[in-house]
Amino acid sequence: MQTKTQSFQDLQSYQLAFRCSVDVYHLIQPFPDAERPLALKLLSTAHAVRAQIAAGWGQRRNREGLLIKLSAAQLAATEMQRWLEAAIAFGYLDAEAGQDLYDCYSTLYGALDQLMETAVAGTTQPAVASFEDDLPASA
């Protein structure tokens, strides 16, 4: 039996985004001082993903608002993947660790896509129902 989602922090997609952002924090620690701007951009983008998911929760009764926020979260997840590619290419991130984090954001992107599809298909409570089990089975 599933428990009722009480807040955005209960969302599996938010929890995944949070785990990804913790990984980002740990991975940027060895960045050289000269690359603090890149490290800060990675942190900022990780925060943006979580913030947009939380904002989507706040808009869950407004389908259009929900879709806008989840789309923004997807955009931030994609932006994170671009920054990760750069950090790997510049040699600041180990390729394997960077790929694991890239994959984390890919999984998150897919989960957000599923939420949006459910909201678009809509039922009497599309957003609330879709948030109950918000990760794909493969995650």
Question: Residues 79-134: pLDDT tens digits?
Answer: 999 999 999 999 999 999 999 999 999 999 999 999 889 888 875 343 444 444 55
Q: What is the CATH number of the domain that holds 57?
A: 1.20.1440.60
Domain assignment present for residue 138? The answer is no
Q: Is residue 4 very low, low, confident or very high in pLDDT (cuts 50, 70, 90)?
A: confident
Domain assignment present for residue 23? The answer is yes
Which structural domain, as residue segments, surrounds residue 41?
8-132
Instruction: Write phi, then psi, for 7 (nearest 5 degrees).
Output: -155, 170
Radius of gyration of the chain (CA): 16
Residue pointed to by tokens 């993903």: 49
Domain assignment present for residue 108? The answer is yes
Q: Is residue 12 very low, low, confident or very high in pLDDT (cuts 50, 70, 90)?
A: confident
Domain assignment present for residue 139? The answer is no
Arithmetic mean of pLDDT, 30-49? 94
Quick check: 108 and 17 in contact, CB under 8 A? yes
Establish how many alpha carbons lie within 13 A of residue 55's alpha carbon, considering only the half-sphere containing its beta carbon: 16
- Total number of domains in the chain: 1
Which sign does the torsion angle of CA 88, 82, 43, 59 carry?
A: negative
